[in-house]
Amino acid sequence: MPNITSFDKKEPDTAKGRSFENLLQLRRRVLKLQFCSFVLML
């Protein structure tokens, strides 16, 4: 049982970490784009 749970936890954690990093990068890009457009509007 412990082996299965540890393996279960290991796999999604890495996937979550990668997706979370990707989300952060996308968010930063969007924020930069929004900021640039806002500055251009001024």
Q: Which residue has the higher pLDDT, 28 or 5?
A: 28
5 within some domain = no
The pLDDT of residue 8: 56
| 32 three-class SS | helix
Domain that holds residue 16: 12-42
| 42 three-class SS | coil
Into how many domains does the chain fold?
1
Q: For residue 40, give the amino acid letter.
A: L
- How many Cα neighbours within 13 Å face the side chain of 39? 6
20 within some domain = yes
Q: Which residue has the higher pLDDT, 8 or 28?
A: 28
Average pLDDT, the chain: 77
40 within some domain = yes
Average pLDDT, integer, range 8-35: 81
Report CA-CA distances (Å) from 12 to 18, 20, 31, 37, 40. 10, 12, 28, 37, 41
